[in-house]
Amino acid sequence: MAVSDEEARVLDQWSNRLAQALQILDMDVDNELLLDLARKSAESVIHPAAPVTTFLVGYAAGLDAGTGSAGTREASRASVEKAARVAFQLCDDGADGGPASKGWADTAQ
């Protein structure tokens, strides 16, 4: 999602303030990745899918990287990228396609 330099600066400041307020230490937010993911999910599914998708990617990344100081910046970044790849792939399948279209049949659940 294209943002102006000023918007990117404001978004970076907001991300840092929010991370501090949530007591997430040393958090580097890849705003560009999250904006691209939000745009893609809104286009591929429905508009309200954007915040839900980015939330779920963040949650999955948090679970994968560990909690608090147990996770490193590198682990956090890798976890976000891993979860985002899954979400991007699912977006490519559209609203009704992909591995979840058959329910739990093809999963390890």
Say which residue, 67 or 46, is predicted with more confidence. Answer: 46
* pLDDT at 82 exceeding the cut of 50: yes
Q: State the CB neighbour count (10 A cutoff) for residue 85.
A: 12
Domain limits, the chain: 29-96
Q: Which percentage of the chain shows pLDDT scores above 90? A: 34
**Residue 78 to residues 34, 57, 81, 93, Cα–Cα distance (Å):** 14, 12, 5, 23
Spatial distance between the Cα atoms of 64 and 18, rounded to a whole number of angstroms: 21
For the chain, the farthest-separated pair of C-alpha atoms sits apart, in whole angstroms, at 47
Mean pLDDT of 64-70: 62
pLDDT tens for each residue of 3-32: 899 999 999 999 888 888 888 877 788 899
pLDDT grade, residue 92 (50/70/90)? Answer: confident
Q: 63: closest CA among 87, 52, 79? A: 79
